[in-house]
A and B are shown apart, each in its own frame.
Chain A
Amino acid sequence: MDQFILQILNGLDKGSAYALIALGLTLIFGTLGVVNFAHGALFMLGAFVAVTLSNVLTLSHKVVDETRTDFLGNPMQVDVPYVHDWFGVTAGNAIIDWAVPLAILVAIPIMVLIGFAMERGLIKHFYKRPHADQILVTFGLAIVIQEIVKYFYGANPIPTPAPDAFVGSFDFGVAFGFDPNAIIYPYWRLVYFFFAITIIGAVFAFLQFTTFGMVVRAGMADRETVGILGIDIDRRFTIMFGIAAAVAGLAGVMYAPISSPNYHMGMDFLVLSFVVVVVGGMGSLPGAVAAGFLLGILESFASIPAVIDLLPGINQVIIYLVAIIILLTRPRGLMGRKGVMEE
């Protein structure tokens, strides 16, 4: 039972990341009709916003410490962060410690701007081109973004820890009457899950309860008619691209403490996220979210040693196996709409 609960928690956590990325992908596909293979790169850029802010907050000047020597035997030059000079050591360390949560505030405008730039600068020129062209150009863009990040940050993962307050694990075992250590789960992963739920809820509420959202939904259903009514749907769709970029970016910022960011992390998520979108149903936002959590949970269960012993290799293929089964039985995915990608 405890293993079951633990893997459900794990699945929800994995599913959170899948759902957030798939949500953005579906938003872009649903509004602009573009299959955006650069979406994983936006997730990665979000994580690197956290890395960059952390680097900025630890910007230092050198102070020579005569009492110590460096590896060459010269007097050691110690880095002293400017925030220590400005705010004192205690307050300075607290600011550095909270770099990742602070990065959320920075990431929103940055990612929206990057989204605008991507859409206006490149992707809008491919609206009327075949999907294959869109995939090629966005995939190429993803590689360019990756290589730029690698040029500046290197290929190694960069540790970006969560604030000290969230280091450690919550013992569900003690809290809910199981044995101690039976179900422990890291605080930051719990934070990630609730953060994802909040973002997903906010996006749905925005689309459901605002006039802007209503117009966007109308545009997703029938772009031509909305245009004839005199509404500049293109401008709204550009804004939605920015919002989708921000969602992917925020997913990346919060993911940085879970897995040290590296330039390739977007690609690692991209393929899985596309499977999530297809399983959920192309163009269906609730489908993307539901499929994200479903596949996350299934992937977690497939990684249990007893399951691997029973079906060797199942952990590596489970997502694709489920995708095949769902697409064979429900060709439009779990919640796919008729007519999407079927012209």
Chain B
Amino acid sequence: MKGVFLISACVSVIAVVTICVFLFANGVPAIAKIGPSEFLLGKSWKPLENKFGIFPMIVGSIYVTAGAIIIGVPVGIFCAVFMAKFCPQGLYKILKPAIELLAGIPSIVYGFFGLMVIVPVMQDIFGGSGKSMLTASVLLGIMILPTIIGVAESAVRAVPESYYEGSLALGATSERSVFCAMLPAAKTGIMAGVILGIGRAIGETMAVVMICGNQSVLPNSITSGVRTLTANIVLEMGYAADLHRDALIATAVVLFVFILIINTLFSIIKNNKE
């Protein structure tokens, strides 16, 4: 019986190792062939002319993720504080499942929501096509909310009640006690939530590809379109052949390295906590 458990445990490890081997075996030779600096820093992506520069996509991914964090993190943290500290029991019974449902909505549905609702609003406000870095950031900001709220809420709840009571006893208001005494104590837990949110945002594909415009040029304002690393892969995989296909796998390698960095950060923060 132990064997079954062992095999089950091995499945995920084998999956990760296989994916790593596949990615690096196909991607690294392509990067070498294109030239690492030309691939990572090249500003021109024209596969038909053998120009494979993914710099605009790297920048695009970072900008969109940063935008999502700016929008999602404050809302997420305030929501977590509300849920943990100020929420009446009755409301909590509605809020909690609603947030869990938000996490379960498939990303393609988010994409359609973005295309039908957020894009027209952006058109009205800023003109242009409405498909932009800002649109993608807003949608991703919504998508990472459940991750941040979930982790931040348990972090706030884990802070001993005595912090709050001590602060009240010193004459601080209820809000001030929460924000100045409890939140700093829950800092590492909240950071962990934020980093998980970053991981979710940078890896998101189907929703983003529908609303970010997908232009492979460096964006010059928050209302110009961008193409993310994930969007680049999903857009062109269907028709790509030869070096073009390998260049897309190499894009995935870059994305994989990003995720590795994020996960390492996550473990470092988690270990610091303990």
Q: Do A and B bind each other?
A: no
